[in-house]
Amino acid sequence: MLSRREFIQLCMSATVGISLTEYLIPVMQNVFAQDKITKAPVIWLELGSCTGESVSLQNAINPSLEQLLSESLDIRYHWLVNVASGNAATQILEDTLEKEAGNFWLIIEGSVMTAANGRYNEIFMRNDQMVTGLDAVREIAAKAKYVIAVGDCAAFGGPAAAYPNPGGAKGVWEVVNRQVINVPGCPSHPDWMSGTFVHLLLYGIPQLDRYNRPLLFFGKTIHDLCQRRQQFEDGIFADFPGGTGCLYKVGCKGPVTHADCPLRQWNHSVNWPVKAGAPCIGCASPHFPDGMLPFYNHFPDVRTSFGTLNIKKISAGLVAFGIGGVGTHFAFAVVKKRIHNHYLKGTKPLETLPPETLEQAKQDLKELAKQNQALLSITPKSDAKQALRHRKWWRRKLDAFLHPKNKDGE
Amino acid sequence: MTKRTIFPVSRVHEPLRVDVEIQNNQVVDATVGATLFRGFENIMIGRDPRDAALLTQRICGICSSAHAISAALALQQAFQIEPTPNGQHLMNLIFAADIIQNHIRHFYVLVIYDYVKGPMMPPYAPRPEGDYRLPQKRNEELLVHIKEGMLKAMRAHEMLAIFGAKIPMQQTILVTGVTEKATVDRISAYKSILHELMEWVEHVYLYDVAVVADYYKDYYSIGSTAGNMISYGMFPQPITGKREYAPGIMIGKGNIEPLDVAKISEDITYSWYQDDISARNPQQGATMPNRDKKDAYSWIKAPRYKGKAFEGGPLARAWISGKYQRGTGVMDRLVTRSQETLNLCKLADGWLAQLSPDGPTFSHYTAPMQGEGFGLTDAMRGGLGHWLRIKGGKINHYQIVTPTTWTFSPRDQQGQRGPVEEALIGTPVVNADDLIEVGRIIRSFDPCFTCAVHMMDAPANAPVILI
């Protein structure tokens, strides 16, 4: 059996041309041959999803889905592959819940629909009543050993949760009261899913980042690993998607997206978006898609109930705000006659008339002396002096605290 | 009379509830309802129109490229631009690879366990008992082919990724073509996988379908519809825009008529939506969800053409192109789907030969401030349409009518059943508790409810301005 360290190295190395699953299968066979680990019973729920993750998982299982099924996972309930339908299928789910409580894994694909009390998504029947995805997730997650959210929808809400979120779509972690391991992506890369499953099976929960994504696969940004990174450094930028050069200026979200697509690539390392000239759209990000739209612009559109905001509107707003501030100040200056006095009367000090009589001169002198005295009397005590005294007071206190015996004269 | 509910129907994409009434071992009434609503079209409002292709394909994980193609067609019309010849061929190649993948996966992952006994382990067991007619030897043979089939579907996706960057959810389709270059190495890589698939489809897939069809001959008549077929046509060719599969309409197995988009309307009498009038053209659809609506039983709307329900998909394309005229039953659907897979391989081979290596695969464009367009194309399961309107440089209206909406539509105002409901009527039922026959009929249509469920439009506080 591989050590955990070796396994992590295997996952992160992603050799070109070979899928992770190809490596994992012999490892799993070896482990099962030694009878060290039993297959994990799995309940796979599809909620508000597009089945993209299931299709994606079918893509990489090499040689076949059969193998992953027979070697590591014991998928009891997944309506895309269950031969039984209707009540018979629901019975499998109920049996697994009862017999394998605390032992089975719950894998969720698709966001949880919460609008209309979850009734936008009903997934099976119990005692002739429709059961919503929301209720099912809450109930089943409480009994599961691990809860794994695959795909951006299950992990963070995903495309269905984009503004204005008509179905009240939410990520699984928002509705269950426990740790959810998130394997995002739209769809999730099959290696990310199978790697996480195998790590869970052999070594328990992998190291997670603050979005609960396995660091194995989501530890670095696409930008860091990108083949076009050098062109970014050299300042060679494409002016249209599909052009040569870094795609940063045509909307590539690689710098803000954590995933290892550039190394691992897609569909058996055939290709990946930036290699094909398509900017990364940040589909493994917790902010996909709202934080990533528009896909072909560098700065995002922010959807608010007042309308769509983007960088142009926001900067226009800031400029308008600045001009408005200066303008208002100017208007007030005019109204208050500050401008008037300043520009019409000039900035010269008013000329004072020389005293005409001796009495007047004495009076003026007296007034000046008075003003001087008044000024002197209100001069505040020197701040520096006060600060010094303050510091001395603290020093005394500190000294007393540090050497209490000195006080007693011992 | 007994009533039975199957919910969830397994081995279809996303939840489906079927209610049937059985009398004298025959289905006498049926309703089919989808139970997931996400409201994707609402999400499109106010977005940059250039994003439509990438964002709408998030609707579906199995037919993602179909949505991208349809959105690109709609945008071409709205932007008043044409794809480059290479770009058009590459879009077609991406799309063809996805359809090949879908057809292989549909048969070997979803359908085959209706006819073949799988291994006795979860998730293949438990299974409904009875009516597995293949002899042991044939059964074993097909089980081996299932493993091959999954591998070949994966290869089809690899082939797609050569030009599509990744799949599910390809990322290269633009309005005027694709971002990936048509270099010689890529063309030859595509070609080598294509030839591998072509050979396998011809010798294994067609053979397997023939074996199943041979043992289940009665399914040529079970699951028949009235023969209302619709096809939007697919694979427009560069410059001429002529479609490799021609669009058309066939009513009651009659003559093929040209398609008039203005005659499409959507009815919501039995759908969980509210509107002031019951049927609208998709360019004007404006609906709000209402889960508590009385008598409604599905999130799917009921699209009608000239007020009639229509079936789409490989069978419809085969009928409309005149290649197939046997019937409209379960086996007819499976057989035409496998034949189409082979045909697509051959077509794709022809397009590869027409590519000019290193020629421009897209042209530059900018999004206009105003515009309107619709993109209709046949997808894996039938006719897919995107309708959109751009106002002030943003999407102002978006409406999608998907293939499964056509085939799995609920009843309409006149009480006409949808095509699948119609196909279920008269089905002989052996065991009312497992209803394996009903499952076979439903799966033969290749339903996908992630696509089917949709609504429109701008929210109530932003009324649509009808042009």
Query: Considering all CA atoms of chain A, what is the largest pairwise distance in Å, rounded to the nearest integer?
Result: 121
C-beta separation of B55 from A289 below 8 A: yes
CA-to-CA distance for A126 and A87, rounded, in angstroms? 9
Distance separating alpha carbons of residues A73 and A42, to the nearest angstrom: 7
Residue A360 within any structural domain of the chain: no
Shared domain check, A292 and A193:
no
**Mean pLDDT to the nearest integer, B63-82:** 94
Determine the pLDDT at residue B81: 94
Residue that terminates a domain, selected from A168, A203, A219: A219
Higher pLDDT pick, A394 / B214: B214
Residues A243 and A215 in one domain: no
Chain A residues with CB under 8 Å of B163 CB are 276
Average pLDDT by stretches of 10, chain A with 410 residues: 78 61 69 74 92 87 58 86 91 93 94 91 91 95 95 93 90 94 93 88 90 92 93 94 92 93 89 95 92 84 73 87 92 78 64 78 88 76 67 81 65
Taking only residues 21 to 50 of chain A, the set having a beta carbon closer than 8 angstroms to any beta carbon of chain B reads: 46-50
Asked if residue A190 and residue A269 are part of one domain, the reply reads no
Model pLDDT for residues B86-113, shown as the tens digit of each residue = 999 999 999 999 999 999 999 999 999 9
Helix (H, G, I), strand (E, B) or coil at A185: coil
- Predicted local confidence at residue B463, as pLDDT: 30
Judgement on whether residues A195 and A248 belong to the same structural domain of the protein:
no
pLDDT, residue B209, reads: 96
Query: Is the Cβ of B118 closer than 8 Å to some Cβ of chain A?
Result: yes
Arithmetic mean of pLDDT, B44-62: 91
Q: Does residue A195 sit within a domain? A: yes
Q: Is the dihedral of CA B74, B77, B80, B81 positive or negative?
A: positive
Q: Is residue A11 marked as binding? A: no
Contact A159 B55 (CB under 8 A): yes
Q: What is the mean pLDDT of residues B118-128?
A: 87
Same domain, A209 and A98: yes
Name the 3-class secondary structure at B18.
Answer: strand
Size of the A and B interface in Cβ pairs below 8 Å: 277
pLDDT at A408: 54
Q: Is A391 exposed, middle or buried (0-12, 13-18, 19+ CB in 10 A)?
A: exposed
3 state DSSP class of B392: coil
Q: What is the pLDDT of residue B136?
A: 94
Give the Å distances, CA to CA, from B421 to A36, A129, A132, B20, B221. 51, 23, 25, 9, 15
Query: Do A102 and A194 belong together in one domain?
Result: yes
Is residue A380 exposed (0-12), middle (13-18) or buried (19+ Cβ within 10 Å)? exposed
Residues A137 and A177 in one domain: yes
Q: Given pLDDT bands bounded at 50, 70 and 90, which one contains residue B461?
A: very low
Highest mean pLDDT among A381-395, B262-276, B284-298, B322-336: B322-336
Q: Which amino acid is at B2?
A: T
Q: Is residue A392, in this structure, part of any structural domain at all?
A: no
Interchain contact, A85 vs B439, CB within 8 Å: yes
Q: Is A315 exposed, middle or buried (0-12, 13-18, 19+ CB in 10 A)?
A: exposed
Same structural domain, A263 and A286: yes
Cα distance between residue B198 and residue B183, in whole Å? 22
Strand, coil or helix: what is A12?
A: helix
Q: Give chain B's domains with CATH numbers.
A: 2-452 (1.10.645.10)
pLDDT at residue number B289? 84
Q: Do B154 and A273 touch (CB under 8 A)?
A: no
Q: Is the pLDDT of residue B158 over 90?
A: yes
Please report residues of B whose CB lies closer than 8 A to that of A74.
Answer: 122
State phi, psi for A211 to the nearest 5 degrees. -95, 15
Residue % of chain B over a pLDDT of 70: 94
Q: Is residue A36 part of a domain?
A: yes
Instruction: Tell me what pLDDT residue B87 has.
Output: 95
The confidence score (pLDDT) of residue A375 equals: 79
Residues of B in contact with A89 (CB under 8 A): 8, 10
Residue with tokens 């020389």: A354
Closest CA to A87 of B299, B4, B413: B4
| A76/B122 CB distance under 8 A | yes
Q: A174 near A47, Cβ under 8 Å? A: no
Chain B CB contacts of A296 below 8 Å: 48, 50-51
The closest alpha carbon to B363, from B87, B130, B153, belongs to B87
Report pLDDT for A391. Answer: 74
What is the crossing angle of helices A52-60 and A190-203, to 10°?
80
Binding residues of B: 41, 60, 63, 400, 448, 451, 454
Q: Are residues A171 and A85 in the same domain?
A: yes
A182 and A235 both lie in a single domain: no
The answer, yes or no, to whether residue B465 has pLDDT greater than 50, is no
CA atoms within 13 A on the CB side of A278: 29
Q: What pLDDT score was predicted for residue A19?
A: 61
Give mean pLDDT, residues B276-301. Answer: 77
Nearby residues of A256 by Cβ (< 8 Å), 6 or more positions away: A221, A282, A285
Any CB–CB contact under 8 A between A187 and chain B? yes
State how many domains chain A has. 3
Residue A97 structural domain: 4-219
- Are A212 and A236 in a shared domain? no
Is the Cβ–Cβ distance between A77 and A96 less than 8 Å? yes
